[in-house]
Amino acid sequence: MQLFLSYPTLYADICVTYATLSLSYFALSSQSAFSWQSEAWKRVAFGLLSGLALYYLIPDRLDVSTHLFFNFEMIPIILVTFFGGWLSGVTSFLVNVALTEPLSLDNLLIASVLVPLLLLRVWRHKTHRLFYRAIILIAFYRMALAYSQPLRVPWYDVLFYQCAVTGCLAACYHALNFAERHIHAYFSLRDRATIDSLTRLNNRTSIDFKLMSLQAHQKPGGLLLIDIDNFKQVNDTHGHLVGDQLLVQLSEVLMQSLDSADFAGRYGGEEFIVITDRHNTGPIVETAERIRQAMSASVLRLAEGASLSVTVSIGAAIYLPGMAMNKAVEMADDALYQAKRNGKNQVMCSRIMQLDQLGDGPG
């Protein structure tokens, strides 16, 4: 009896499947909760990482008939489809095809299972009921296919192996589902503590931590304080709902205008802050001007076809190692006040940056 002599192999296959998928899921959730809505490269990576399990699982198989065999290779493909979406599932299947005979009966069987899952978009409607319906149908389908072939092993070996596969699928599904719920809960709590609920930018707590981190590590950087011009008048004329829409619009302008390494947050009210790794006057002013021009060009559509366009004033400063961070922020605030007093809709640099500009010259 081929199967009952291989309990250690069966146990090892279950452990490898669970460990590979769980570790891959945790690794891809290091910065944000992984899901079928994650970046494309993460979903492809989830499918590729499942290939590590496939590489181990493929040699361990139960030869059911001359042309058909059972092994655990279907498990990672099904699970990454449920948790990573179609891109993860297709990637995992292609890895499996690359590691085996492309037109084998086993690959055709896996494709015939995968296609309905893709058409049903199981990752969008992932529930325990849907999952168990799927794996029960898959189990009956595989058993029916096995019994349509002249068996090379006793029928109870086939039944036992299929039960092991189904049990492994269920165990791994619930383990990943448990991890998914708790990781999503963790990032949700973290966002509530560090993200502004209206603009989805960093909140004051995150800003203060970022500023303290710069000072603690003695890292130079650029500071931009950004304030919407005539914001109180907008609130008084159009209402606070329109004011909130303007805040969201500015946050979108910031995200589109900044580099990925830049840090943006809502400092308070209609005031925003940008912290950059660049500490030379030229690049900082270029960033500020890009934001100012983008905001001037943006238009907020109001009810009944009306529109509203506002400008921003920006105060720029630099933080250098050895400075007090509150002094750098104060200089940016003074520059912002100067921009407001000079007519608004402009960028003003702190005194240190103005001296730096005087020193910029040929040679």
- Strand 221-228 relative to strand 271-276: parallel, antiparallel, unpaired? antiparallel
Instruction: Name residue 47's amino acid.
Output: G
- Strand 271-276 relative to strand 263-268: parallel, antiparallel, unpaired? antiparallel
Question: Cβ contacts of residue 94 below 8 Å, gap of 6+?
Answer: 47
CA-CA distance, 223 to 314, in Å (whole number)?
Answer: 10
- Strand 271-276 relative to strand 62-63: parallel, antiparallel, unpaired? unpaired
Reported as half-sphere exposure (CB side, CA atoms, 13 A), residue 104 has a value of 16
Please report the DSSP string for 14-63 in residue order: HHHHHHHHHHHHHHHTSSS---TTS-HHHHHHHHHHHHHHHHHHTTS-EE
Select from 260, 288, 272 the least CA-distant residue to 202.
272
> Both tokens of residue 11?
């146990």
Annotated catalytic, 270? yes
Q: Cβ atoms within 10 A of the Cβ of 288, count? A: 27
CA-CA distance, 144 to 10, in Å (whole number)?
Answer: 22
The answer to whether the beta carbons of residues 318 and 223 sit under 8 Å apart is yes
CA-CA distance, 43 to 295, in Å (whole number)?
Answer: 34
Choice among 270, 286, 289, 304 that is catalytic: 270
CA-CA distance, 24 to 38, in Å (whole number)?
Answer: 14
Catalytic residues: 270
